[in-house]
Chains A and B, each alone.
Chain A
């Protein structure tokens, strides 16, 4: 026994910077993902504020056209790739191993690699600012504005390189979570007993694995067009040879529409965890929820051309994509009715996470309804490229994803800090956010129907758009204030929040059975699962017997893999290689060499080093 304990790691990890850099613990990586995405949320938010200040009044010259283009491009790219996706991945990291009864993800070092690649990818994209200014072609980068002829500086190159790197991070992370969920579930946790958040993670990861290769290839085509003079998106009239800018749109949206579900499904998963707990009822229609998620993901690959109705694809293609888009509203509707069914007759507790989740449902319904309008080709032709579209997708991505992500933060924060986020500030945050949000984005419906186009940096005062633009800009300031309230809450509660204990919400799933914060190795003994809501069942049995539930007591430390810095090296090499595509082949070759060193070091490094008890410093 003594010999065994010697090879085991200490329960706590080193809190030094080196400890965080070499960490492969899913909880720490989750925290890193979360902090980074909150940082980028502030960056993307400030960008949005500047856009709204520019648009507050007609003929404004506050930031000007070029800055406006850079800001709206980076606002979209940031919020999608550097905020909502990594924030979802933060929750995958923090929650999935705990919910399925695992000690870590299947590939802890690959997990660290995903994070570092994400971090460097974001930095790479933003470093464009110091060279030529930020990318300015929109987050969709439509061809042939991205062609060298029209975007002759390095802005697009940074955008391409950054997205390529971020794609590697997403796919690596998604592969990891697929294997983790398929292969590391606690005994008894059959597929149809998995918590819904675990289900949405599995399905989202599958979408990432299948959708990202398409954008990767499209970006490589664009890179070759720009760097080597190929003809992929350059038509003959622009000096190419039979290339077609429309191909970019197809490839982009074959990725881009599944991407929309990559952004919303984790949010739906969070809400499906929060609503049952605060209604004290098991999730209504669990199998329907699971199959709805799967069918949304499946159909998500067959609707992409509804982004392209105005391209002129012809009546047959338009009809097909109109019908598939109408159809995909069905599983989405099933989910909403099941949430309502869960609420119905439940004893509802209006805590902040619950209010955020209810905010999600209401706002998402509005966004979903305006989305169905876009399935109707004639209506879409009218609305395309107007502020109506901007209103729609902010209702699903902000009103949907962001509200749910905030719900998740309020819900799971106590598990990792042992402190509850302040309810007073939390509710203030919620009310300010929902008021500011509707004030900002609801008027955009009117503006869109009045014909105000997207992506314009200013407008004349004779258009009749002045009033609602001013209202919208005022709303955006209220959202900014609500974000400040959230940040204050985050920091204050970390130091002096109410002590949460292990199970502050009377939770149903496995993560609430363990101590707050959970030990490095999560579960000392892997639990056995007998039902969909294992902790509720256990507590019910205990109540019947009159014995209170005891939190598991720690006495040994299970065998955990050692920290490693090779993932960081491989990630660094990848980003250097990507930067090399912009500047020099020498840097590209050097980057590939560093990747090779990282991968070889990684492959030949034992997962658990001998004498690993010293590795914590």
Chain B
């Protein structure tokens, strides 16, 4: 009986002060909070470098080639994410679905690499309890992995929305916001890859004090 269609839960029609959508600003502000979150985790890792008394140390255990591959996979997921959004903004739902699925696939592959790596490390004698390296390493990379997992679940939800025809050109913002999150998580990984993996070659236990 109502001639007004039920309001969609997406973008409000009324104008905003900045002209930007509320949810987009929310996501940017949330990412600022996440920056502090990961900065704390990464700083803790860096502060505790060279503090382990017992091994295994990073130089014994970290496999740069394998993680380079998983890093490449994660970066490719960002490319797929960009292509998915671009397709949706053009109204190409078919390619949108393909690229979202590709993003999910790359993300999941990255997570499988992480499971493999954690398992490997565990068998080589490194657990969160072993030493301070283990504690900081697993907490940092595990938290990042949890973020990727949330991103995968989010993107899967959007994929099913696209399958049902609910993800359209008009609400491409839904995908754009998920994309902001996804790219952020990727960028964090670049920092982690640099600071945890690439410099691990000479990353041993306690370093004797200078001049001593």
Given A242-B206, A607-B7 in contact, is the A106-B139 Cβ separation under 8 Å? no
B1 touches A183 (CB 8 A): no
CB distance from B206 to the nearest CB of A (A): 7
With A214-B40, A606-B8 known as contacts, the answer to whether A230 contacts B2 (CB < 8 A) is no
In the bound complex, what is the Cα–Cα distance between A30 and B56 (angstroms)?
53
Contact A183–B18 (Cβ < 8 Å): yes
> Are A218 and B40 within 8 A (Cβ)?
yes
Give the residues in chain A near B134, CB-CB below 8 Å. 230-231
Residues B36 and A224 in contact, CB atoms below 8 Å apart: no
Nearest CB in chain B: distance from A5 CB, A: 10
- Does A209 sit within 8 A of B, measured CB to CB? yes
Which B1-23 residues sit within 8 Å CB-CB of chain A? 1-4, 6-9, 12, 16-18, 20, 22
B-facing residues in A214-237 (Cβ within 8 Å): 214, 216-218, 220-221, 224, 228-232, 236
- In angstroms, Cα B134 to Cα A240, docked, is 12
CB of B176 within 8 Å of the partner chain = no
Is B184 located at the chain interface by the 8 A CB criterion? no
Which A525-573 residues sit within 8 Å CB-CB of chain B?
A: 559
CA distance A317 to B26 in the complex (A): 36
**A213 with B34: CB separation less than 8 A:** yes
The reply to whether A609 and B4 form a contact with Cβ atoms under 8 Å apart is no
Contact call A242/B48, Cβ cutoff below 8 A? yes
Check if A608 sits within 8 Å of B29, measured CB to CB. no
Complex interface bits, B47-64 against A, C-beta within 8 A gives 1, otherwise 0: 110011110000000000
Contact between A183 and B16, CB atoms less than 8 A apart? yes
* Cα–Cα, bound, A3→B3 (Å): 6
Cα A210 to Cα B37 with chains together (Å): 8
Does A366 sit at the interface, judged by CB under 8 A? no
Residues of chain B with a CB closer than 8 A to A33's CB:
none
When distances are taken between beta carbons in the complex, the residues of chain A under 8 Å from B25 are: 178-179, 182-183
B210 at the interface (CB under 8 A from A): no
B4 engages A4 (CB within 8 Å): yes
Please report the C-alpha to C-alpha distance between residue A258 and residue B153 in the assembled complex, in whole angstroms: 34
Measured CA separation A171–B206 after assembly (Å): 38
Q: How far is the CB of A68 from chain B (nearest CB, A)?
A: 33
Question: In this complex, which of A216, A242, A251, A609 has the most chain B Cβ atoms within 10 angstroms of its Cβ?
Answer: A242
**Residues on the B chain within 8 Å of A232, using CB:** 44, 132, 135-136, 139
Contact partner of A229 among B32, B51, B129, CB < 8 A? Answer: B129
Flag whether B125 is at the interface (Cβ < 8 A). Answer: no
* Residues in B neighbouring A603, C-beta threshold 8 A: 9, 157
Pair B9/A606 contact, Cβ less than 8 Å: yes
* B131 part of interface (Cβ distance < 8 Å): yes
Which residues from 118 to 169 on chain B have a C-beta closer than 8 Å to any C-beta of chain A? 128-132, 134-136, 139, 157
Instruction: Knowing A107-B26, A209-B29, say if A183 contacts B9 (CB, 8 Å).
Output: no
Q: How many residue pairs between the two chains, A and B, have CB atoms under 8 Å in the bound complex?
A: 134
Smallest beta-carbon distance B54→chain A, Å: 6
Given contacts A236-B53, A609-B6, contact A241 B18 (CB under 8 A): no
Does residue A185 face the partner (Cβ distance < 8 Å to B)?
Answer: yes
Instruction: Please give the number of chain B residues whose Cβ is less than 8 angstroms from any Cβ of chain A in the complex.
Output: 43
Interface residues of A in 156-212 (CB under 8 A from B): 171, 175-176, 178-179, 182-185, 189, 209-212
- Chain B residue nearest to A185 in the complex (CB): B17
User: Contact at B29–A178, with CB atoms within 8 Å?
Assistant: yes
User: Cβ of B132: which chain A residues have Cβ within 8 Å of it?
Assistant: 231-232, 240-243
Question: Judging by beta carbons under 8 Å apart, are A184 and B129 in contact?
Answer: no
Complex alpha-carbon distance, A233 and B51, angstroms? 12
Closest to A559 in B: B7
Q: Is A605 an interface residue when CB atoms closer than 8 A count as contact?
A: yes
Residue of B nearest to A243 (CB): B132
Residue in A107, A179, A241, A604 whose CB lies within 8 Å of B54: A241
A6 within 8 Å of B by Cβ? yes
Please measure, in the bound complex, the distance between the C-alpha atom of A360 and the C-alpha atom of B135, giving whole angstroms.
46
B139 near A220 (CB under 8 angstroms)? yes
Q: Is A378 an interface residue (CB 8 A)?
A: no
Q: Look across to chain B and name the residue whose beta carbon is closest to the beta carbon of A105.
A: B22
Does B171 sit within 8 A of A, measured CB to CB? no
Q: Are A212 and B33 in contact (CB under 8 A)?
A: yes
Interface centre among B36, B51, B54 (most CB of A within 10 A): B36
Q: Which of A189, A216, A231 contacts B37 (CB 8 A)?
A: A216
> At the interface, yes or no: B41 with Cβ under 8 Å from chain A?
yes
Taking the closest CB of chain A, its distance from the CB of B124, in whole angstroms, is 17
A228 to B129, CA, bound (A): 7
Most A C-beta atoms less than 10 A away, residue of B9, B17, B44: B17
Chain B residues, Cβ within 8 Å of A240: 132
Q: Given the complex of chains A and B, what is the CA–CA distance between A175 and B128 in angstroms?
A: 33
A610 adjacent to chain B (CB < 8 Å): yes
B116 on the A face (CB < 8 A): no
Say whether B41 contacts A183, CB under 8 Å: no
Cβ of B72 within 8 Å of any chain A Cβ, yes or no, is: no
Q: Tell me how far the C-beta of B148 lies from the nearest C-beta in chain A, rounded to whole angstroms.
A: 16
Q: Among A6, A175, A604, which residue has the most Cβ atoms of chain B within 10 A?
A: A175
Question: Are the C-beta atoms of A231 and B139 separated by less than 8 Å?
Answer: no
Interface residue from A183, A211, A604, A608 paired with B7 (Cβ < 8 Å):
A608
- Contacts A182-B18, A231-B132, A236-B53: A175 and B30 contacting too (C-beta < 8 A)? yes
A7 in contact (CB, < 8 A): yes
Q: B9 near A604 (CB under 8 angstroms)?
A: yes
Q: What CA separation (Å) do A23 and B1 show in the bound complex?
A: 27
A586 within 8 A of B: no
Determine the distance from Cα of A559 to Cα of B134 in the docked complex, in whole angstroms: 54
Chain B CB count within 10 A is highest, among A106, A213, A610, for: A213
Residues of A contacting B32 with CB < 8 Å? 209-210
In the complex the two chains form, is B52's CB within 8 Å of A242's CB? yes
Query: For B52, what are the chain A residues with a Cβ–Cβ distance below 8 Å?
Result: 241-242
A605 & B9 in contact (Cβ 8 Å cutoff): yes
Task: Please pick, from B6, B33, B129, the residue contacting A230 in the complex, using a CB distance under 8 A.
Answer: B129
Q: Which residues of B contact A606 (CB under 8 A)?
A: 6-9
B20 to A7, Cβ gap below 8 A?
no
Q: Are B40 and A175 in contact (CB under 8 A)?
A: no
- The residue of chain A having its C-beta at the shortest distance from the C-beta of B4 within the complex is A7
User: In the assembled complex, how far is the CB of residue A99 from the closest CB belonging to chain B, in whole angstroms?
Assistant: 14
B25: nearest residue on chain A (CB-CB)? Answer: A179
| A209→B33 contact, CB < 8 A | yes
Q: A106, B22: Cβ atoms under 8 Å?
A: yes
On chain B, the residues within 8 Å of A213 by CB distance are 33-34, 36-37, 40
B136, closest chain A residue (CB): A232
Q: Can you show 23 pairs from A to B with CB atoms below 8 A apart?
A: A7-B2, A7-B4, A106-B22, A179-B25, A179-B29, A183-B16, A183-B20, A183-B22, A209-B29, A211-B36, A213-B33, A221-B139, A224-B128, A224-B135, A230-B129, A230-B134, A232-B44, A232-B136, A243-B135, A247-B44, A247-B48, A600-B157, A607-B9
Query: Chain B: residues with CB nearer than 8 A to chain A?
Result: 1-4, 6-9, 12, 16-18, 20, 22, 25-26, 29-30, 32-34, 36-37, 40-41, 44, 47-48, 51-54, 128-132, 134-136, 139, 157, 206
Q: What 4 A-B pairs are tightest by C-beta distance, nearest first?
A: A242-B51, A213-B37, A230-B135, A213-B36
With A232-B136, A243-B132, A247-B48 known, 13 other A-B pairs at CB within 8 A are: A182-B18, A183-B16, A217-B37, A230-B135, A231-B131, A232-B44, A240-B132, A242-B51, A242-B132, A243-B48, A243-B135, A251-B44, A559-B7
